[in-house]
Amino acid sequence: MDCDWERVGLAISIGDKQENYQPEGSVSFTVDEVIAPFKASAGHVGAVALPYFAVFGASFQASDEDINHSAKEYINYILKHRQ
C-alpha cells in the first residue's frame, strides 16, 4: 500500500510532566512507546515517522509566555522537517 505523502510527524500536547514519561515515572512508558502504533502505521503505508514534537505540562495552566515559546519551537520544528 502506498500513500501520497512520505513523512509523518506528530505534534503532541501532553498534560503531564516530561519526567513522568519514563519507565520509572507515573505513566510507566516513554513517549516513544506511547506513539509506537503511529510509527508502525506510518511504516505500514510506506511513510517515514519523523521525531515527535511535544509540549509537556499542558494541564498545569501554561502561561501565555509558555504558549508563545512552544509556538515558536513548533514553527522551528516544521521548518526543520519540511521538504
Residue 29 CA to residue 48 CA, distance in Å, equals: 22
Give the mean model confidence (pLDDT) for residues 59-65. Answer: 84
Question: What does the pLDDT read at residue 4?
Answer: 55
CB 46 within 8 A of CB 5: no
Residue 72 or 15, more confident: 72
Q: Are 21 and 34 in contact (CB under 8 A)?
A: yes
